[in-house]
Structure 1
Amino acid sequence: MPAGVPVPAAVPPSRLGPEVPAPLFGAPDRGRGLVVGVVITLIAALTRFWNLSHPTDKGTPVFDEKHYVPQGWQVLTGGNWIEDNPAYGLVVHPPIGKWMLAASEAVFGYGPLGWRVAPAISGVLIVVLVYCVVRRLTRSTLVGAIAGIFAICDGVLFVQSRMGMLDIFQALFIVAAFAALVADRDQVRERMYRVYFEGRIGDSPFGPRLGFRWYRFTAGVMLGLNCGTKWSGVYYVVFFTALAIGFDVAARRAYHVRRPWVGTLVRDAVPAGASLAVMPVVIYFLTYIPWFTSETAVYRYSEGNSIGTGGTFSWVPGAWRSLWYYESGILQFHAGLTNSAGNQHPWESKPWTWPMSLRPMLYALENGPDQCGGGECVRAQMLIGTPALWWLTLPMLLWGLWSWIVRRDWRYAAVVVGYCAGILPWFLALDRQMYFFYATALAPFLLMGLALCCGDLLRATATTARTRPERRVLSIIVVAVYVALVVTNFVWLWPILTASPISPGLWRQQIWLPSWG
């Protein structure tokens, strides 16, 4: 019987029923897990913070930093924690990401270090969360460490952690929400286990009430912050809510609740909706408090231009009509950013290229003799997924789907749902201008899936270690060689991930595919 789960001294045999899963969650080696976690964190911090101020565009932001970094500074210096109306333009993303940039700039000033510290911290936290989630999923510190190494060595997470953009913040909130949902699943099963062995599982055909679920509430808060960073986060609200419902139904079925689907609807639907649907909306609108209190924010007083007067919603307070006008303007902007409307970019990409990183992005490029103090050289920074990881996306997804559907492995179900939330919705608007950095939030789920595959390989041969020891050795060698390949690939790409000076010849060798150039 697992420690920490109280069981009555005498349980009526007639009420025990069939065997139920024991609440064994997380790796048992806490001390070693902590040590490994600290090491993973330190390595992640070292890679993210090394030479963080480079590259720049002659001391100014590069690529899309040029949008968000000045907005973060205006948020900090404007007095209201919201952007003013810049030349009567339109600020097209919610405030959370700009607040995080502003907090970083408040400490380190308006310079490359100032606008990149917050993304770097977020990048380190993502690595830690990936390690912790996979360790919980597999009950293995080793497999968790493999996931942490993958997260350290992924080019997308690495580069985005060193850029003053919004996507790394959104990815952090998404992974945090996912981690909270996985922890909530475990907590629900522990509570169900306790009720089952107290003999109360059959008191109602719907199963027990489970009390307030703080992990699920936390997931809702994280999803709200995710939406408060970029609107594309709303897809994760939908997919993660469906995932949470699936977890609840599976838990009630596993502990022999007579009507698990109806029980989930009766017992869990309302609180789940409050945490995972209502709470993100509340958090989102709370981020606009500075907008409401500002006198100069974008479209703050649009109701003065007869917005909504005389119509169905004329009873709505003016400030809320102005916010509606503002939000509808954002929607129109994003809806109109299409190729057919003439919006073209040399580095745009479509979602079918993202899984294998077939069309990366060039963030910065400097070449010529001035870059190396004499002699030709190139300094370039590209957002590119480490091929040893990203080129296995499709095999990982196929194995994950098979494991989910055939083996009923909930871990792959969770990872595949998380991955699909980040890519499938983009296929609904293929005419829209898109970029590879939209795939930032895909990376953690890819890495978790690959780590699960490594764990499967190690675990499958561990069961036959006594009868077929050579298989165990071979599996360890295969996994070790693959991890070494990932690290080597990351080291090889280091110059074009960090804009380090390299010769034109080496630059050409780094460009493996025509679509990379």
Structure 2
Amino acid sequence: MTALLIRSPGDGTGPDPERTRPSGDREATLLGRPMPGDRMRALVVTLVLTAIGGFVRLQNLGFPTDGGTPVFDEKHYVPQAWQMLRNGGYEDNYGYELIVHPPLAKQLIAIGEWMLGYNGWGWRLSAAIAGTLIILLTIRIARRLTRSTLLGAIAGILVISDGVLHLQSRMGMLDIFLALFVLAAFGFLLLDREQVRERLAVAVREGWADESPYGPRLGFRWWRLGAGVMLGLATAVKWSGAYYVVAFALLCIAFDVAARRAAGVARPWLGMLRRDLAPAAWGIGMIAVLVYLSSWWAWFASETATDRHYVEIEGVPAGPLGFVPDALRSLFLYTTNVLGFHEDLTTPTDDPHPWESKPWTWPMGLRPMLYYYESGSEAAGCGQADCVRATMLVGTPALWWLALPLLGWGLWRSIFRADWRYTAVLVGYSAGLLPWFAMLDRQMYFFYATPLAPFLILGLTLALGQILGSARNGFERRGTGLLVVALYTGLVVANFVWLWPILNGDSITSDRWQAELWLPSWR
């Protein structure tokens, strides 16, 4: 996938145009299209849409509960977050050891509980804030990818209207935090790509870009460091964040090769190996590891946290890793034990989990999840005797049902049009989907697909930008494109409004409940 980023029209026979192109053309190629000049308007649009999205996420946040207790998988993480408040940052849970994820997201949930107490608002506040920040980031990232404030705004509307991101922002679970940090890392990589190209453009302009066949050194890269920090935080939420560490490190390297090639560097691959590989391994890989280990600060500081002294208690021999401190070896063994738990968490063929799903169903959201359900007198409020209240994790079909054609279009654009924007989005999407195909025997659920949603929306925004066209296409073409984009955006919003009752637990009639279940696999 990353190799697609370095394709150029000069890959055929004969002299390479990138090598013979005048320096002015190389500089223009490196810099690409400038950002639009409406910075203030873009800021206002971003803040207004983020505020609207925040209001939508926060309304009636304390409902539903199970008699004042958490619902669905909140029952694992919300009490553990409360334990962290009591214990100074770590869980105990000795009698029933089910601490199966790193601590960061639970620590973030604990902040809301500390502020608002042990109730629905308290254990969901941090998730709602994370979901609101995803709206802000998506708007800014889409604007940077498309160079259009309008398309950035459309991306924000799509994010607000996605059922998966909406409901996960209203649950005391972990996946919305993973999606937030992964998306932030992606945004930082885009900023790093632009900074690298700006530095190379200066070198081209001043005539020293090709003094070495490997190209110039690019200096310290703060945005790449920021991406490493965000990826470390993502891994500190769930270990699946490690997939993004690998994927985004490769993406960063491919960006560097493409930039050196566009600058006319004679040996861009060797230049990357000599100039960029080691700094990328440190700036993304090592920083992510250090940030991940830092998230265990309370566990390291404790004497009683789960398996804190595993090496000493179990008498684990030092072996060739005797130079590693016992605390780090205990954490490693604790982690491998938990990963073993995940690997062995399979569903018996004679007793499958009613809402389990496999990754091939996730792109289109074919098997959603029912988080909460009550009917009859307990669900009163619909104006009839037989009412239903439910919250179901379901992706807005007007968005998710376009995933497969979008992925096909993105691959075509990446391979045959060398469109790096689609390639970058596909890397982010694939890192959240493809690794799960290697472990199909274990239990999996649709909420694992939460990090896919922002990349799906970014890809759709790119496609909408092509439908919209530019002013150069003429008034009639632009007007037709604008009409199609407006109608589609309205369709997504209408679809979200239709799903609203089953995303928020509103009281509805049984007939309306049945009408919400569009596919047999939703039942």
TM-score clears 0.5: yes
Letter in 2 for 1:399: W
The equivalent residue for 1:44 is 53
Q: For residues 312 and 477 of structure 1, do their structure 2 counterparts lie closer, same or farther at Cα, with a shift above 3 Å needed? A: same
Deviates more, 1:236-245 or 1:434-443: 236-245
Q: For residues 277 and 413 of structure 1, do their structure 2 counterparts lie closer, same or farther at Cα, with a shift above 3 Å needed? A: same
Letter in 2 for 1:94: P
Distance in 2 of aligned mates of 1:229 and 1:14: 47
Q: Structure 2 regions of 5+ residues with no counterpart?
A: 1-19
User: SS of the residue aligned with 1:231?
Assistant: coil
- Please state if 1:384 is matched with 2:366: no
Distance in 1 of aligned mates of 2:203 and 2:459: 33
User: SS of the residue aligned with 2:173?
Assistant: coil
Provide TM-score, normalisation by structure 2: 0.93
Shift of 1:464: 2.5
The equivalent residue for 2:152 is 144
The equivalent residue for 1:277 is 285
The equivalent residue for 1:457 is 467
Distance in 2 of aligned mates of 1:214 and 1:310: 38
Aligned pair partner of 2:408 in 389, 394, 398:
398
Aligned pair partner of 2:359 in 343, 351, 363:
351
Distance in 1 of aligned mates of 2:462 and 2:318: 58
Letter in 1 for 2:158: F
The equivalent residue for 1:512 is 518
The equivalent residue for 1:485 is 491
Distance in 2 of aligned mates of 1:233 and 1:414: 17
- Write the mapping of 1:219-238 to structure 2, written as runs, cut at 5 A: 219-238=227-246
The equivalent residue for 1:77 is 86
Deviates more, 1:358-367 or 1:331-340: 331-340
Please list the CA deviations of residues 15-41 of structure 1 after superposition, one character each: whole Å capped at 9, or x if unmatched: 837544252443321011011111111
Distance in 1 of aligned mates of 2:315 and 2:79: 30
Distance in 1 of aligned mates of 2:21 and 2:378: 83
The equivalent residue for 2:479 is 473
- Structure 1 contact 15–199 (Cα < 8 Å) conserved: no
Distance in 2 of aligned mates of 1:59 and 1:170: 27
Letter in 2 for 1:182: L
Distance in 1 of aligned mates of 2:290 and 2:352: 36
The equivalent residue for 1:10 is none
Q: For residues 314 and 197 of structure 1, do their structure 2 counterparts lie closer, same or farther at Cα, with a shift above 3 Å needed? A: closer
- Write the mapping of 1:84-163 to structure 2, written as runs, cut at 5 A: 84-87=92-95, 89-163=97-171
Shift of 1:369: 2.2
Shift of 1:470: 3.1
Shift of 1:99: 0.8
Distance in 1 of aligned mates of 2:352 and 2:522: 18
- Structure 1 contact 85–299 (Cα < 8 Å) conserved: no
The equivalent residue for 1:3 is none
Distance in 2 of aligned mates of 1:225 and 1:286: 9
- Structure 2 contact 46–139 (Cα < 8 Å) conserved: yes
Identity of aligned residues (%): 55
Letter in 2 for 1:58: G
- Structure 2 contact 26–204 (Cα < 8 Å) conserved: no
User: SS of the residue aligned with 1:117?
Assistant: helix
The equivalent residue for 2:23 is 16
Q: How many residues align?
A: 500
> Once superposed, what is the RMSD of the aligned Cα atoms?
1.7
Letter in 1 for 2:185: A
User: SS of the residue aligned with 1:137?
Assistant: helix
Distance in 1 of aligned mates of 2:351 and 2:455: 30
Shift of 1:90: 4.0
User: SS of the residue aligned with 2:280?
Assistant: helix
- Structure 1 contact 54–499 (Cα < 8 Å) conserved: yes
- Write the mapping of 1:67-466 to structure 2, written as runs, cut at 5 A: 67-79=76-88, 81-87=89-95, 89-309=97-317, 311-339=319-347, 344-372=352-380, 375-459=385-469, 462-465=471-474
Shift of 1:106: 0.9
Shift of 1:335: 1.1
Deviates more, 1:345-354 or 1:289-298: 289-298
Shift of 1:235: 0.6
Shift of 1:105: 0.9
- Structure 1 contact 343–433 (Cα < 8 Å) conserved: no
- Structure 1 contact 27–136 (Cα < 8 Å) conserved: no
- Structure 1 contact 307–322 (Cα < 8 Å) conserved: no
Please list the CA deviations of residues 454-496 of structure 1 after superposition, one character each: whole Å capped at 9, or x if unmatched: 0011126x4331xxx4332221111110000000000000000
The equivalent residue for 1:503 is 509
Aligned pair partner of 2:74 in 61, 65, 77:
65
Letter in 1 for 2:45: V
Distance in 1 of aligned mates of 2:85 and 2:423: 42
Distance in 1 of aligned mates of 2:351 and 2:513: 30
Distance in 2 of aligned mates of 1:432 and 1:131: 35
Please list the CA deviations of residues 90-119 of structure 1 after superposition, one character each: whole Å capped at 9, or x if unmatched: 411001001100111111111100011100
Shift of 1:362: 0.2
User: SS of the residue aligned with 2:473?
Assistant: coil
Q: For residues 46 and 349 of structure 1, do their structure 2 counterparts lie closer, same or farther at Cα, with a shift above 3 Å needed? A: same
- Structure 1 contact 396–449 (Cα < 8 Å) conserved: yes
Please list the CA deviations of residues 310-347 of structure 1 after superposition, one character each: whole Å capped at 9, or x if unmatched: 64434543323322221111111111112358883110
